[in-house]
Amino acid sequence: MKKGELLYEGKAKKIWKSDDPDLYIAEFKDDLTAFDAEKKGRAEGKGALNCKISAYLFKLLEDHGVPTHFVSCPTEREMVIRRVEMIPIEVVVRNIAAGSLTRRLGIREGVRLPFALVEFYYKNDELHDPLINDEHALILELVDHESDLEELKRLGREVNVVLKSFFDKIGLDLVDFKLEFGRRDDGKILLADEISPDSCRFWEKGSGRKMDKDLFRHDLGDVKVAYQEVLRRIREEIEGSSPSST
């Protein structure tokens, strides 16, 4: 498969057309950003790690009935994905209080929430991705119908059930995570973008050690080492439980 026109370059990925009109190629970058890109850095090999982690997790979710845009990984940092029109809403699912939730509501970091909290953020760099409610999303015409918002919430919670259980098995608490979705020509909504330590918070059970981009945000340690450890645990759990590995 050949790369065509560069369609989009964001903070973490480049999206290219391919020679198949129904497929794009996502190239994962080594760049690191935080605080609305006010803090910038780079970790050599980070893109390849996130590509591999996302591929494992997309396949895991597909196996549990969650539709995704994932097709294959032809190289270590490139992912072939189904063409979708991205919905400009970030769906954030929270299990444990951290980050902006603690600042907004004064909930102490580390408090386990009584249920998974699903929040919507308007994906708009100029407005700094503000928190929005259902009515805001409809007024801004980010989706066509209220039922689309219910579907995003349902999919967010479904992803959470699968991933929370999986990461529990490999000794990590899934604190919170960001999802993005896209729509196919037939209207079907697919999980898109990525699922990686760039878009999730992982805390090691017992020690509470952070294993995600917070290491970069707050200068707490080596991002690449943590991402490698997350990948190792994912790979060993999935490949170790695969029938082909016995």
Q: In whole angstroms, how far apart are CA 241 and each of 51, 61, 236, 237, 244?
A: 21, 15, 8, 6, 9
In order of their start, the domains of the chain are: 3-82 (3.30.200.20), 85-222 (3.30.470.20)
Query: Worst-scoring range by mean pLDDT, 5-9, 72-76, 145-149, 242-246?
Result: 242-246
Q: Is the CB of residue 172 less than 8 Å from the CB of residue 205?
A: yes
Is the Cβ–Cβ distance between 94 and 176 less than 8 Å? yes
For the stretch 91-104, pLDDT in tens is 999 999 999 999 99
- Structural tokens at position 23: 């497929």
CA dist 226 and 65 (Å) reads: 29
pLDDT tens per residue across span 164-218: 999 999 999 999 999 999 999 999 999 999 999 999 999 999 999 999 999 999 9
